[in-house]
Amino acid sequence: MRNILWGISAIAMGCWASAASAQEAESSDKWELHGFGDYSVKQDYVTQRGLVVTTDGAMAHLVNGISVNSPDGVSIYAGTFLALNPGHAAGSDVINEFDWWVGASAPIAEGLTASVEYGHWIFPKSGPFDQRNVQFRLSYADKPDNGFSINPHANVFLAVNAKSSSVVLGKPDGTGYLELGVTPKYEGKGFTLTAPTWTSVGPKNYWVSKDNAALVATLVDGGERSNLGLFSTGLKASVPLKFGGSAGGSAYLFGQYYHLFNDGLVAAKQVLNNGTKRDHFNFGAGVSWGF
């Protein structure tokens, strides 16, 4: 499994690198090919859904992707995500997770973009079963006012085919949740500050299935099945990087705070031996690039 995952990533990187020179020959009135990536090191692995996956050893997250963009703003894209946990317990697989996805986005009004994405999440033999999901997203990029913008979004996540829950104790598939958030952004001279902030709600069975209700009640005081998921906010500071030609990117530091409203998320944190507190902080640094 490990060799296959590394092979997929290596092939993808080779394709995306060769695409850079082809993209330079494109004019603005033609379809364009773009590549992107983000490589970060984090204290812990906490998912967008509030699942604290591991706090044992630092995490390295490697994201790579490619997109084909039309002159009128339609984009077809694909990407991969590799989570490495080299500091984990001796003898365990350093690969925590490998994901791939494909999607499409299109502008539907000035500043407003809609997208749909299919993802397949793959885990080591010791991890959960594969998970397949579909996400629908609306995002609005408002015009900066003195360098400041809000950038709201709404995201619907649907678990469509899985034998394991994406939050451990929930219903594996046929369920999902709604995320609402904003990403306030300030662009200064030579730096950018963003504050990714979101909250989530969904059917009770997404967070805790009926079969796991008794376990949650045992692990968490109250142990209620709720519709609330989590609240998260943070701060990310980045500075631009120039790689030559049309390629550029940024280096960044970040801190992110999570409050787990849902008892199922707190119980899952205990099941994975990552603590018992509802509040969790994560820190890290990384570099992103694109052409």
* Distance of alpha carbon 3 from alpha carbon 7, whole angstroms: 6
Mean pLDDT of all residues in 217-246: 94
Tell me what pLDDT residue 3 has.
Answer: 41
pLDDT-derived band at 90, boundaries 50, 70, 90: low
Check pLDDT > 90 for residue 280. Answer: yes
Instruction: Check residue 91 and give its pLDDT.
Output: 55
> Residues 6-61: pLDDT tens digits?
444 443 444 444 344 444 444 458 999 999 999 999 999 999 999 999 999 889 99
What φ, ψ does residue 205 adopt, rounded to 5°?
A: -70, -15
- Could you give the number of structural domains in the chain? 1
Say what the pLDDT of residue 243 is: 85
251 lies in which domain range? 2-290
Which CATH number do you get for residue 197?
A: 2.40.160.40
For the cut 60, the answer to whether the pLDDT of residue 1 exceeds it is no
